[in-house]
Amino acid sequence: MSAATEAAVGGRRPAPRIRRGLRLAVSQGQFLTVLAGVFLILMLLMIVQDGAGTAGNEVWRGLVLGAIYALIAVGYTLVYGIIELINFAHGDVFTLSAFYSIFLAGIPGVQEGFFKRFFGFDINHLAGSSPGGLVLALLIIFPISMILAGLTGVLIERVAYRRLRNAPRLAPLITAVGVSFLLEGIMFAFFVPPAPPGQPGLGTPGAAYPTGEDGWIPTTHVLFNIGGSHGVVIGANDAMVIVIALVAMFALAGFIRYSRTGKAMRASAQNRDAAQLCGININRTISATFFLGSALAAVGGVVYAMHYHTITWNQGYQFGLIAFTAAVLGGIGNIVGAGIGGFLIGLVEAFTVTLIPNGGSWALIVVFAVLILVLTLQPTGLLGMRVPDRA
């Protein structure tokens, strides 16, 4: 082409405006600044009130919980990004995957694990034998639980959502709520401790499922202690949660960025027709999305079961909603945003618990207040998409 033509092509249009929710909406920059400011002030308040050591421990605990929210949030954001569905069953896939891992490994003295029963191989013993054995046990339990959860996610999409892909938006949404109840019912039937003899019913609703008092990594094992006896304690157990979560999320981000399937997922999310015209199989790509999202939730589920020692059949409902909040805070559809949002929500919980008297019962109220504020002020979240789709 001639130089003149190239000049004609070159003129860039002014930066396009991003659609905003309400007139209240603030710019992304303002939002970030305010958010950073608020977090700083809360942190200072905590230090003044409880001293640096306690404040540090609470923040650290918030980050550990946040890591789990982050792992779940990624699944919400992936699925929303590609089919614009809020997959309400996702939180229950998280719980279910924790139960998968318990089913595989068993609980010493309570329940025989799958490996022990069918192969005579005690994975709990292996985990306790040596650091190398622990790593090996993790390398067995994580992939298998992730694959089982991934297949569960694929099955859910195939059975419940696929036929509704071109239905009005509300239909798959309600179906997702239905799938959530279905999964919770299944978990209730299988994983609730039996009712005491003479009492009616399947069992005690809300009863915790014991995942064993002594986990694979003893809670007493301290990795770092910053600032002595009143300082910040970093347990190996906590560190494991954060390390595994970060590794899983970076691996996922890399997969989405560089792999063929990952590119197909991004393309399908940005323009489904065009993706098909490029030879991308949409159904297979959506299945892959559900597989990955559910596998990440399984990382969260397994880590949760190992770290917190009890898990309840209906816990996924609450965890799902909190993780969804994290995904919205980070900017729904944005994977890095979901990760950051998860950690931030974990911190919000930590602040609530320490700064408000009897804060534990306020945690959910504060988290959902955050959700409402984000949706009002900055619907695209922290890292919402800055480049609009131009038809």
Partner 1 sequence: MALLEVDAVDVFYGRVRALQGVSIEVDEGEIVALIGSNGAGKTTTLRTISGLVRPARGAVRLAGKPIHTMGAEQIARMGIGHAPEGRRLFPRMTVQENLDMGAYSRRDGAKVKHDFAWVYSLFPRLAERRRQLAGSLSGGEQQMVAIGRALMSRPRVLLLDEPSLGLAPILVDAIFDVIREINGEGTTILLIEQNALIALHTAARAYVLETGSVTLSGPASELLASADVQRAYLGM
Q: Which residues bind partner 1 (CB under 8 A)?
A: 1-2, 4-6, 8-13, 260, 263-264, 266-267, 270-271, 273-282, 385, 387-391
Q: Is 212 left (phi over 0), alpha (psi -120 to 50) or beta?
A: left
In the numeric block, the tokens 């009863």 are attached to 207
Distance CA 174, CA 186 (A): 19
In the numeric block, the tokens 């992304």 are attached to 28
Q: Considering beta carbons, is residue 83 or 302 the nearer one to partner 1?
A: 83
Q: Considering beta carbons, is residue 49 or 281 the nearer one to partner 1?
A: 281
Q: Considering beta carbons, is residue 170 or 387 the nearer one to partner 1?
A: 387
Contact 84, 169 (CB under 8 A): yes
Contact 60, 234 (CB under 8 A): yes
Q: Considering beta carbons, is residue 170 or 391 the nearer one to partner 1?
A: 391
Chain centre to alpha carbon of residue 213: 24
Most distant pair of Cα atoms in the chain: their distance: 90
Q: Considering beta carbons, is residue 3 or 170 the nearer one to partner 1?
A: 3
Distance CA 235, CA 223 (A): 5
| Minimum distance from residue 79 beta carbon to partner 1 (Å) | 17
Distance CA 342, CA 357 (A): 24
Contact 152, 287 (CB under 8 A): no
| Minimum distance from residue 295 beta carbon to partner 1 (Å) | 23
Q: Considering beta carbons, is residue 4 or 22 the nearer one to partner 1?
A: 4
Instruction: List the structure tokens of 185.
Output: 């019912």
| Minimum distance from residue 272 beta carbon to partner 1 (Å) | 9
Minimal CA–CA distance to 351: which of 44, 70, 51, 33?
44
By residue count, the chain amounts to 391
Strand 208-210 with 310-312, pairing: antiparallel
Instruction: List the structure tokens of 387.
Output: 């480049």
Q: Considering beta carbons, is residue 245 or 256 the nearer one to partner 1?
A: 256
| Minimum distance from residue 47 beta carbon to partner 1 (Å) | 40
Q: Considering beta carbons, is residue 27 or 283 the nearer one to partner 1?
A: 283
- Residue 139 burial (CB < 10 Å; 0-12/13-18/19+)? exposed
| Minimum distance from residue 18 beta carbon to partner 1 (Å) | 11
| Minimum distance from residue 19 beta carbon to partner 1 (Å) | 14
| Minimum distance from residue 289 beta carbon to partner 1 (Å) | 16
| Minimum distance from residue 383 beta carbon to partner 1 (Å) | 12
